[in-house]
């Protein structure tokens, strides 16, 4: 069973991990997250990043270290991870790596209710998804290949490899499902009629 965390937002774990390397201010932290493509794995924006840092500071996992000023820009507060924050980061990360967590992706919800759509309609929608998946797969392959060619160590690309593996698996699954739905529509629907949607409570 997952532990109760003082700040449970996954963005907090990313913040702790980056601050474990060096103290920095939120603007620099956001820049590092973007540069390393962590926005593919962690959802955040400027406001949520600042909010999470304030929450971490409130519970003692990070602490203000000072301020810096760059040119004519306003002063920025630099934050550093505390010993308690470092322990929390390691414990949390070990838990996530070792223990599978039940997740509730939106596509899973859609699949659990897909029987309300006519099979031919659902198959057409899945074809659209397949095109989007193929484009994303190609984008990740290209980006990961360029990073590897630039000398980025494989360990910094494992999250992209994991994402790619998930997308490729989903692409195969969706291809089979779309084909099955098309066969079902052809076999069950009388000529000249549309297949009625099914009751999801009976699926």
Could you tell me the domains of the chain? 10-98 (1.10.10.10), 106-202 (no CATH)
CB 25 within 8 A of CB 70: no
Residue 166 confidence class, pLDDT cut points 50, 70, 90: very high
11/162 Cα distance (integer angstroms): 19
pLDDT of residue 86: 97
pLDDT of residue 135: 97
Residue 101 confidence class, pLDDT cut points 50, 70, 90: confident
Residue 59 neighbours by CB under 8 Å, 6+ apart: 6, 7
Tell me the average pLDDT across 61-88: 90
pLDDT in tens, 133-146: 999 999 999 999 99
pLDDT of residue 191: 53
pLDDT of residue 190: 62
pLDDT of residue 137: 97
Residue 195 confidence class, pLDDT cut points 50, 70, 90: low
Tell me the average pLDDT across 167-191: 90
pLDDT of residue 169: 98
Lowest mean pLDDT among 91-95, 121-125, 145-149, 190-194: 190-194
Cα–Cα distances in Å, from 40 out to 15, 37, 60? Answer: 15, 6, 28
pLDDT of residue 104: 87
Per the document, the length of the chain is: 203
Which segments of the chain are extended strands (E)?
62-68, 76-81
pLDDT at 114 over 70: yes
3-state secondary structure of 24: strand
């Amino acid at each position: 069973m997952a532990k109760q965390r003082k700040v449970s937002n996954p963005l907090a774990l990313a913040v702790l991990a980056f601050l474990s390397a060096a103290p920095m201010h939120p603007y620099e932290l956001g820049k590092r997250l973007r540069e390393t493509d962590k926005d593919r794995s962690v959802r955040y924006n400027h406001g949520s990043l600042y909010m999470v840092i304030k929450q971490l500071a409130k519970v003692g996992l990070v602490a203000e270290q000072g301020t810096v000023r760059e040119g004519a820009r306003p002063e920025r507060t630099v934050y550093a991870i505390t010993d308690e924050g470092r322990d929390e980061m390691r414990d949390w990360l070990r838990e996530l790596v070792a223990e599978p967590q039940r997740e509730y992706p939106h596509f899973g919800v859609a699949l659990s209710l897909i029987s309300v759509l006519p099979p031919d309609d659902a198959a057409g929608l899945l074809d659209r998804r397949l095109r989007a998946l193929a484009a994303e797969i190609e984008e990740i392959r290209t980006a990961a290949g360029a990073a590897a060619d630039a000398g980025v160590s494989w360990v910094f690309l494992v999250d992209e490899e994991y994402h790619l593996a998930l997308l490729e698996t989903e692409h195969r699954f969706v291809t089979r499902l779309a084909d099955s739905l098309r066969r079902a529509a052809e076999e069950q629907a009388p000529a000249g009629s549309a297949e009625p949607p099914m009751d999801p409570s009976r699926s």
